[in-house]
Structure 1
Amino acid sequence: MADQSQLVWLFFSVSGRVSRAAYFLGGLLVAIVQAFPLYRFTLVPEGTPESNMWALTFFVAFIGSLWSNIALAVKRLHDLEKPGLVALVLFVPVISIIAFVVLCLFPGMPGPNRYGARTNDRG
């Protein structure tokens, strides 16, 4: 079982490098965290206290997951020896989907680079 500091690093830190698998699985978890409250919101009648609660839950999950998506992408770019600033393309709607696929498919740089000694390392 991963220790808590590893999970905090994976989802909230922009230092270090992550592998394709860690990026994909982390991105999948973030998508589930976003989708669940949205799904629950669609099941309840509009304008009820329960719908307001799920709307707020979705908003909080979305804001938290937005940073997590950026942090994951920056670390994945670091593994490809690219600057994290390139992660800004995630804010361009169509390009973000293409960028996610590219980051999932292209292997990282073997061995150490300027962003860390090895993949899945805090750097």
Structure 2
Amino acid sequence: MNRPSQLAWLFFRTSGRLSRAAYFLGGLLVALVQAFPLYRFTLVAEGTPESQMWAAAFFLAFLASLWSNIVLAVKRLHDLGKPGPMALVLFVPVISIVAFLVLCLFPGQPGPNRYGARTNAPA
């Protein structure tokens, strides 16, 4: 698989499994992509066309990062042998913190499981 299709799989497709490190680092990259337009928005004068452009960029980055965070969590859950819809707990206050820690700290299932033959690969 070439690099662009690997990135598309990592951030936009729910099939396969993902390791703890890949989940954490992918989530960190998503957070940085979201933070950059927000940072730029804070540097320009309010109400200017430039501020509107950065606000729109932040909104688009937020939408893309929301989906990417869900996709990363689904694949991480797959590595733990759990169904993807459990990723919805990441939207429940307080529980989301515990769920995030579980996804970052607990090792996945060794060997193949029903979600894929190996970690960090599509099913």
Asked if these proteins are the same fold (TM beyond 0.5), I'd say yes
CA distance in structure 1 between the partners assigned to 2:60 and 2:31 by the alignment:
14
Give the equivalent residue in structure 2 for 1:83: 83
Among the aligned pairs, what percent are the same residue?
Answer: 80
1:45-80 per-residue CA deviation (whole Å, 9 max, x = no partner) reads 111111100000000000011100000000000000
Give the equivalent residue in structure 1 for 2:121: 121
CA distance in structure 1 between the partners assigned to 2:55 and 2:95 by the alignment:
27
RMSD: 1.0
2:94 counterpart SS class = helix
- What is the TM-score with the length of structure 2 in the denominator? 0.95
- Once the 2 structures are TM-superposed, how far is the Cα of residue 43 of structure 1 from its aligned partner? 1.2
2:108 counterpart SS class = coil
- Once the 2 structures are TM-superposed, how far is the Cα of residue 95 of structure 1 from its aligned partner? 2.4
Give the equivalent residue in structure 2 for 1:55: 55
- What is the TM-score with the length of structure 1 in the denominator? 0.95
What are the ranges of 5 or more consecutive residues in structure 2 without an aligned counterpart? none
1:97 and 2:102 equivalent?
A: no
CA distance in structure 1 between the partners assigned to 2:11 and 2:55 by the alignment:
23
CA distance in structure 2 between the partners assigned to 1:53 and 1:7 by the alignment:
26
- Once the 2 structures are TM-superposed, how far is the Cα of residue 16 of structure 1 from its aligned partner? 0.3
Return 97-106 or 62-71, whichever deviates more.
97-106
- Once the 2 structures are TM-superposed, how far is the Cα of residue 102 of structure 1 from its aligned partner? 1.4
2:70 counterpart SS class = helix
- The 5-angstrom pairing of residues 1-123 of structure 1 reads 3-123=3-123
What are the ranges of 5 or more consecutive residues in structure 1 without an aligned counterpart? none
Aligned partner of 2:71: which letter? A
- Once the 2 structures are TM-superposed, how far is the Cα of residue 44 of structure 1 from its aligned partner? 1.0
- Change beyond 3 A, Cα 1:43–1:93: farther
